[in-house]
């Protein structure tokens, strides 16, 4: 029966460079093949305050700070930050959203961790683009976040008040290019007409 030194294992985890871990990641880092042995070690690591359990099979290095957006990406994959959270991040809307909002091609879910709520709104696979990695997390560009919000608003799932938006960070040519890739429904086009008046395009 294999025995494991907790101090050595802890050092391996810190040396890995990771802050967020799936069970499989821990298995690879610690090179523990036996499932029962792995979960026994994880239990000891959480008890010792090295790891903090987020939810089933997901852990956080307890002493490290992790950005909400990075955690949002990790909690539910594939996903990217969009909608109200991205719009606030870029200064398009000033109101700070209560929830950290993401887009996903999977079913919509809501998760909670340390009094923070993470929402994942379903979008079609053909609309899952227009995002980039920035500051360690995946987020929609300003133009894509705005169109995501407007499209979902046209379907009755989101709300936005264009009067309260600051469009200084919107690239008009990129927005028009992105717009061509969205479904041209009547409801969506009505909202886009209003947007074009604000942007003067």
83 class by beta-carbon count within 10 Å (0-12 exposed, 13-18 middle, 19+ buried)? buried
Cross-strand partners of 80: 103
Separate counts of helices (H) and strands (E) for the chain: 8, 9
Confidence class of residue 1 from pLDDT cuts 50, 70 and 90? very low
Which tens digit of pLDDT belongs to each residue from 4-27?
688 999 999 999 999 999 999 999
In degrees and rounded to multiples of 5, residue 65 shows phi and psi of -85, 135
Task: Quote the tokens at residue 182.
Answer: 């969205």
Model pTM above 0.85: yes
- Taking all residues of the chain, what is their mean pLDDT, rounded to a whole number? 95
């Amino acid at each position: 029966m294999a025995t494991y030194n907790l101090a050595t294992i802890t050092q391996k985890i810190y040396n890995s460079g990771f802050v967020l871990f799936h069970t499989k990641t821990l298995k690879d880092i610690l090179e523990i093949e036996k499932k029962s042995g792995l979960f026994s070690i994880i239990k000891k690591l959480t008890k010792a305050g090295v790891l903090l359990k987020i939810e089933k099979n997901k852990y956080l290095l307890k002493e490290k700070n992790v950005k909400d957006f990075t955690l949002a990406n990790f909690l539910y994959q594939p996903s990217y930050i969009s909608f109200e959270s991205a719009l606030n991040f870029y200064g398009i809307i000033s109101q700070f959203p209560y929830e950290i909002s993401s887009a996903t091609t999977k079913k919509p879910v809501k998760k909670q961790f340390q009094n923070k709520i993470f929402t994942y709104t379903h979008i079609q696979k053909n609309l899952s683009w227009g995002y980039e990695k920035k500051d360690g997390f995946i987020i929609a560009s300003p133009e894509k976040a705005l169109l995501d919000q407007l499209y979902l608003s046209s379907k009755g799932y989101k709300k936005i008040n264009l009067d309260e938006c600051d469009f200084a960070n919107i690239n008009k040519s990129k927005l028009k290019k992105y717009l061509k890739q969205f479904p041209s429904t009547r409801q969506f086009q009505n909202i886009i007409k209003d947007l074009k008046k604000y942007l003067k395009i």
